[in-house]
Structure 1
Amino acid sequence: MTFVQSANEYALRNPGQVVWMLPWFLLMLPLVCLPSGAANWPWAKELVSVATDWIPMINSMSSRAVDPQWTRFALSCLWVSGPFWTLVAAICGIRTLKAKLYKQEPLGFSYFLKTFLVFGGAILVIATMKPRPWKRVDMLTYFFAERFGLFVVGWFFITSMFVVLGLIAALPLSRLFGYKYD
């Protein structure tokens, strides 16, 4: 079995894990490798302008960052790419359903609600943690405003809701495209 075949089989068996790692490999890894001056490129400024008009919380999240311009740019890229990750998750879910590798449980609104409550609760806990007097960084700022924190954890909180929506949409979309779930 070649590497491509084994990677394809893994993607068919674990569409959620694959889709959750794609934003990290395809978006966060390249963003962290970009220089801090990348936020001053004309297309990056336009992207940030449009994204902050849609999502004003980007400005408040990046206001406490060491490099607010780069953080605003990275957060804009994450939020703007979200619908794309929803589409990719739906496509991967449909591929898994059509492959019939294992019984696929239908994911409904309750799955989305549970996931939203878990991630919302985690963010609430992180936001309420007060920094110690000798440590000037709180976890919320670290995860969403610092380059390393955003690279390691923050991207997951932002892209998870988009991925979950795509995975939930896989079953109804597969029926729309003619696949009848048994």
Structure 2
Amino acid sequence: MQHETHTQHVQRHEGYAGHEGHAGHTGHAGRPASWAMAVQATLHCLTGCAIGEVLGMVIGTALGWGNTPTLVLAITLAFFFGYALTLRGVLKAGVGLRGAIRVALAADTLSIAVMELIDNGVIALWPGAMDAELGDVLFWGALAISLAAAFLVTTPVNKWMIGRGKGHAVVHQYHH
């Protein structure tokens, strides 16, 4: 597969509004991105982050680790799974590993970082959440609310990035 530049991609799809069920390519070349596009990008990010976050919290809590090592593991796994989901799709599109890693880093880093900041901030500030056990409603409730809050804050960030041809706008050329 020949790699085209972002500019070539934008020129090829200028005015195209029916890209595989997406809300069109309104996020390219500085034009405003749609909220639907931003929500889709954030849900993609949330999926990887939630897998890593939940897995990290469960492992750290089950092993009786303290708050700091549990948070470090959860954040590390959130980035790992967030990047892995993007890598899977880009590699499937025929991009080499090195190029796919560059695309994943460009597409997901800011989104995952914001999501993790909000998610872990809510957990850290929620009274008793860091000390809750796996069987506690507080553990799962605080985790669910923190992920929802992260989604709400990260969606406008993704909308802003897509509108500037950054973030998940970079990945759209591989969704053919």
Determine if the TM-score, normalized by the shorter chain, exceeds 0.5: no
Q: Which has the larger radius of gyration?
A: 1
Query: What TM-score comes out, normalization by structure 1 length?
Result: 0.32
